[in-house]
């Protein structure tokens, strides 16, 4: 599968999110350097404060001491990973940097509804390539229409 296919899957996962008036519905998929899926997640999947990237990283074992394990991987997220958050100490952009992933492909820049969208800048500053595919932005916005 190519970038559009994986990102389309992430957009589909966003539809599985329990509704919220205080957070975006986001889906994420982590793919290794050989194009194999490692993990997937969506916002509020296991906890009301879970972000999609965080849920997928947890399934990949990254949040339990395996930092750097995803060297060469790509994270696909329907929304730009957060650069700041109130519900947890580390935003998703920082968690992705620590994971060792080399690229993050996303469909939609985070609107400044809850916080400033600075995830792409954090990723780029740390040497992780942010790639925006705006042709899927409408699909990423769909499960968030009630917020916009």
Q: What is the pLDDT of residue 67?
A: 56
Backbone dihedral angles phi then psi of residue 47, each to the nearest 5 degrees:
-150, 145
CATH topology of domain 3-16+25-147: Cytidine Deaminase; domain 2 (3.40.140)
Cβ contacts of residue 145 below 8 Å, gap of 6+? Answer: none
- pTM assigned to the model: 0.93
Helical spans, DSSP H, in the chain: 3-14, 52-59, 92-99, 119-125, 137-141
Which two three-digit tokens encode residue 72? 């060469």
Among this protein's residues, is 135 annotated catalytic?
no
Per-residue pLDDT of the chain (148 residues; tens, 9 = 90+): 899 999 999 999 999 999 899 899 999 999 998 999 999 999 999 899 999 999 999 998 765 555 567 888 999 999 999 998 877 888 999 999 999 999 999 999 987 767 767 899 999 999 999 999 999 999 999 999 988 8
Cβ contacts of residue 89 below 8 Å, gap of 6+? Answer: none
Q: Which of 53, 54, 94, 110 is catalytic?
A: 53
- The residue ranges of every structural domain in the chain are 3-16+25-147
Q: Minimal CA–CA distance to 134: which of 81, 83, 80?
A: 80
| CA dihedral (91, 97, 100, 106) positive or negative | positive
């Amino acid at each position: 599968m190519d970038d559009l296919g994986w990102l389309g899957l992430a957009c589909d996962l966003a539809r599985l999110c329990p509704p919220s008036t205080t957070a975006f519905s986001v889906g994420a998929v982590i793919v290794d350097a050989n194009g194999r899926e490692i993990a997937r997640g969506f916002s509020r999947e296991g906890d009301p404060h879970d972000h999609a990237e965080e849920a997928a990283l947890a399934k990949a074992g990254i949040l339990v001491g395996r930092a750097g394990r995803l060297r060469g991987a790509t994270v696909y997220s329907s929304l730009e990973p957060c650069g700041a958050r109130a519900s947890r100490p580390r935003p998703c952009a920082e968690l992705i940097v620590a994971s060792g992933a080399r690229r993050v492909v996303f469909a939609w820049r985070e609107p400044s509804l809850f916080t400033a969208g600075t995830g792409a800048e954090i990723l780029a500053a740390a040497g992780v390539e942010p790639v925006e595919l705006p042709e899927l932005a409408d699909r990423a916005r769909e499960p968030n229409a009630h917020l916009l």
